[in-house]
Amino acid sequence: MADRAPAAAPADPPDVTLGGAAFDALVRALDAGESVDHGGFTARPADADGDGYVVETAAGERREGLSESGLHELASEHAAAVTDWHFLTERVGEGGPRADFVRWLEGVDVHGVDAEGVIARYAALADGAAREWGQLLVSVRLGDRGDRVYEVRHADEAGADAADLDGHDDPLEARRLVKFDDDDRYRPLKTAPTLPTGWVFADLDHRGVYETVETVYPATVANWHREREGELDVNHWRETMGRQSGIYGVIQTWDRGEGHEHVNWVAEATCDDSQCLKRREWEYDEETDLDVDGGDGVFPCREPCSLVVSAARKWTKLEGETERTYEFELTPSEKEQVETIIDAVADDRTDEIREADVYEGANRYRTRFLRAKRFDEAGNLCGVPTEPDEE
């Protein structure tokens, strides 16, 4: 963002103060007999025959028999390491989607938690680090006690002044914010690339940022985490449709063992990055990949979603019809215009076509002209009835 300070030199970690909570947690851990080894700062309780605490630092310093105030002095000198330990280990914890996501946001998997890693991360965090998650921009910066402050907004508004956006602080408010797109249309698919703009969650803690992101894009962090652990349970098209029952049971009949072209069409229609930001990992079945690209999304899609299942039910019925040959008289330009109109609807472009742009085939006047000329009173294209016996 424009108003961010330039990055500090990597060798020079930003000034953080060792807060009481971090120091208390350190003392608690050591008094419980644990040792702490983080960011080049190593501390442990003295052996049974010794007294106080033992501290070693990356600079080669070693002190034994430290009192609590001696420990405090050294820990304060290494406030970056100690606050980072406190944040990652004690507050965020280990394992699970939330902890993984919080670490990923600040690049723990890239920089690590050794002395250099902490310095590099703290330098980046002081400046403010940001990552995209679907259409979200998730930023994190360092508080002066080594705490983290997170912000979530629409990625298209990366440069906007937060004061110009509607501020929110309860992650659950995101449920209402993302229900409709900027044109007030209901968004049945949360990962459709139609996230509305104009809002910001400016001051979240690590739990709040996770909740907010998971509210905007439910279960995306959970599945992304599983994928990183090598445990994503992908259910392909055939098993998913095979599981359906009730009114959706019919979809199984669409798979006739004659190939998977129909599923290519489904994926192209619904799962393309222009329609859904999840990266489709499901295929036709375990052996048969689809021929269309799954997309580049950061989070995976592990099985056909309910929207796809509902649409597939309709397509199963429609695709049960036999093809017929119709004969239509059209000029070459009219044929192309029909194609342009289909493209415009499929690409959701009709809103962008200007009123008087009669050079555009999907323009309203052009389309009305085509209808006036080529439809009969019953709405049949070129007067050709849908059913032959209607003539």
Partner 1 sequence: MQALVIVAHGSHLNPDSSTPTYRHADTIRATGAFDEVRTGFWKEEPHLREVLRTTEADEVYVVPLFVSEGYFTEQVIPRELRLSGWDVEQWGSDGLSADQATLTAADTGQTVHYCGPVGTHEAMTDVLVRRAETVTGDPDVGEGFGFAVVGHGTERNENSAKAIEYHADRIRELDRFDEVRALYMDEDPEVDDLPEFFESDDVVLVPLFIADGFHTQEDIPEDVGLTDDYREGYDVPATVDGVRVWYAGAVGTEPLLADVVLERAADAGADVENALESVRETTRVATGD
Rounded Cα distance, 31 and 74, in Å: 17
Of 18-26, 39-47, 305-313, 315-323: span binding partner 1 (CB under 8 A) = 305-313
End-to-end CA, the chain = 66
Can you name the residues that pair with 136 across neighbouring β-strands? 133, 154
Residues 6+ apart with CB under 8 A from 25: 86, 90
Stretch 304-323 residues interacting with ligand SF4 (CB under 6 A) = 304-305, 307-308
Can you tell me which of 25, 71, 271, 370 binds ligand SF4, judged by CB under 6 A? 271
Regarding 280 and contact with ligand SF4 (CB under 6 A), the answer is yes
State which residue, 294 or 361, has the beta carbon closest to ligand SF4.
Answer: 294
CB of 179 to partner 1, least distance (A): 6
| Structure-token pair, residue 225 | 């985490």
State which residue, 218 or 383, has the beta carbon closest to ligand SF4.
Answer: 218
| Structure-token pair, residue 387 | 């059913």
CB 202 within 8 A of CB 161: no
Regarding 301 and contact with ligand SF4 (CB under 6 A), the answer is yes
**Interacting partner of 223 out of ligand SF4, partner 1, none (Cβ under 5 to 8 A depending on kind):** partner 1
Can you give the C-alpha Rg of the chain in angstroms?
29
Regarding 3 and contact with partner 1 (CB under 8 A), the answer is no
Stretch 156-215 residues interacting with ligand SF4 (CB under 6 A) = 191
CB of 339 to ligand SF4, least distance (A): 25
Rounded Cα distance, 92 and 271, in Å: 34
Ordered alpha helix ranges (H), 128-272:
174-177, 206-216, 220-228, 237-243, 261-270
CB 210 within 8 A of CB 256: no
Mode of pairing for the β-strands spanning 41-45 and 53-57: antiparallel
**Interacting partner of 83 out of ligand SF4, partner 1, none (Cβ under 5 to 8 A depending on kind):** none
Stretch 80-119 residues interacting with partner 1 (CB under 8 A) = 96-98
Regarding 341 and contact with ligand SF4 (CB under 6 A), the answer is no
Regarding 233 and contact with partner 1 (CB under 8 A), the answer is yes
| Structure-token pair, residue 260 | 């998977």
CB 370 within 8 A of CB 337: yes
Regarding 249 and contact with partner 1 (CB under 8 A), the answer is no
CB of 112 to partner 1, least distance (A): 26
**Interacting partner of 316 out of ligand SF4, partner 1, none (Cβ under 5 to 8 A depending on kind):** none
State which residue, 58 or 219, has the beta carbon closest to partner 1.
Answer: 219
Using CA atoms, how far residue 194 sits from 46, 118, 154, 188, 374, in Å, is 58, 37, 10, 11, 35
Site string for partner 1, 153-182 (x = CB under 8 A): -------------------x--x---xx--
CB 7 within 8 A of CB 127: yes
Rounded Cα distance, 278 and 256, in Å: 28
> What residues line the site for partner 1 (CB under 8 A)?
96-98, 172, 175, 179-180, 186, 188-191, 214, 218-219, 222-223, 226, 233, 243, 245-246, 303, 305-307, 310
Residue ranges in contact with ligand SF4 by CB under 6 A: 191, 270-271, 276, 278, 280, 301, 304-305, 307-308
